[in-house]
Chain A
């Protein structure tokens, strides 16, 4: 038998957020500046986690999220959605699935990019 809602349990544990309090209003998705690049809107991600759909782990959405906290400050249920995205990234990263390979960044870009861009990118997207 499948372990009941293992994904949901992990996400709630790592993010510290109670996903059950989500009433699926979509405020997070509507305000997200990068939602056009996402395959699932943040609201859909939460719904899928609640339903324990492991596929969300392969969604692009958490990797597109740059933790701008727009959803976090607007959630009417005070769910910190940035932390949910972080939890999804962490679950993947802890299994050695990095979102970026630093060696593949062209050298001229490396010379030009500010340090904070590189470091924040590596911190968010590598394990």
Chain B
């Protein structure tokens, strides 16, 4: 069993527990244990974008400092939002010595961060493990299931933190292809879902998800795969305000777990649009 330091993020303890459970199960099947090696806190959720306010980056850098002092060279997270925030902060302090010095001085209760941690998203870890290895573990290929991999913003943008080509991403497509799914591609799969406006301006989110869901539906998608708990919330839970018949939205890790025969780790019941009837109809679920 190989080990890697793991950053779950807040939602994994709460609304996205099915993301975590399926992810841990998938990695375990692939021979990797994701271990919480340090006392992590909220990542900060968004990277501060003003030059004169480092406060917004404290929580991300605090996590990195703790990870480094716990001996972690790499940390992996499933949540695209955590990935983006940690990675942007990491890139920023690597680029800007003065900022790092200021942050270290401010966090005088923590050991100094020296920039020695690499932040990974779990899709990157999967790519590193290899598509062959994933293919080997498949017991129930998702044949005939037309999946639209939704990347959203935070895995692809800004460019310096992108896990793949931001205009033509393929990484999730390849992973899902390896488990037998048929891939539906569309330009809107890299569009924003409306993000936090789900709190204050639901109409923006509804217009975004309507465009995305309609587009992939036109292309005959059976379901959407996501890698972010906020995207999942917007695309799945917010569908109840669309009144257009539900299109299931699943975490990519749930699909892999299903293909690996780990139905018990999928927790499909946690979705607003219940994917089970579809999966049963396709013979993928009893």
Residues of chain A touching chain B, judged by Cβ–Cβ distance below 8 Å, are 13-16, 33-34, 36-37, 64, 66-70, 72-73, 80, 82-83, 86-87, 90, 99-100, 105, 109, 112-121, 123-125
Contacts and interface: CB of A to CB of B under 8 A. Distances in A.
Interface of B: 9-11, 14-16, 42, 44-46, 48-53, 56, 79, 81-82, 153, 156-159, 162, 166-167, 191-192, 194-201, 203-204, 207-208, 229-230, 233, 237
A125 B204 CA distance: 16
A11 to B, nearest CB: 10
A5 to B, nearest CB: 18
Contacts, number: 130
B51 A124 contact: no
Given A105-B199, A116-B11, A14 B157 contact: no
Interface of B, secondary structure class, is loop
A116 B230 contact: yes
A114 B199 contact: no
Which 5 pairs of residues, A with B, have the shortest CB-CB distance?
A69-B157, A68-B192, A86-B49, A121-B196, A120-B45
A34 B192 contact: yes
8 contacts: A34-B194, A34-B208, A66-B197, A73-B157, A109-B199, A118-B199, A123-B44, A123-B46
B174 to A, nearest CB: 22
B13 to A, nearest CB: 9
A17 B53 CA distance: 15
Given A90-B50, A117-B196, 14 more contacts: A13-B52, A73-B159, A86-B49, A112-B237, A114-B16, A114-B233, A115-B10, A115-B15, A115-B42, A116-B79, A117-B199, A117-B233, A123-B45, A124-B196
Contacts of A73: 156-159, 162, 166-167
The secondary structure that dominates the A interface is helix
B50 A114 contact: no
A72 B81 contact: no
Contacts of A112: 237
Contacts of A15: 49-51
A36 B229 contact: no
Nearest to A37: B204
Nearest to B84: A69
Contacts of B46: 67, 120, 123-124
B160 to A, nearest CB: 10
B24 to A, nearest CB: 19
A117 B137 CA distance: 35
B196 to A, nearest CB: 4
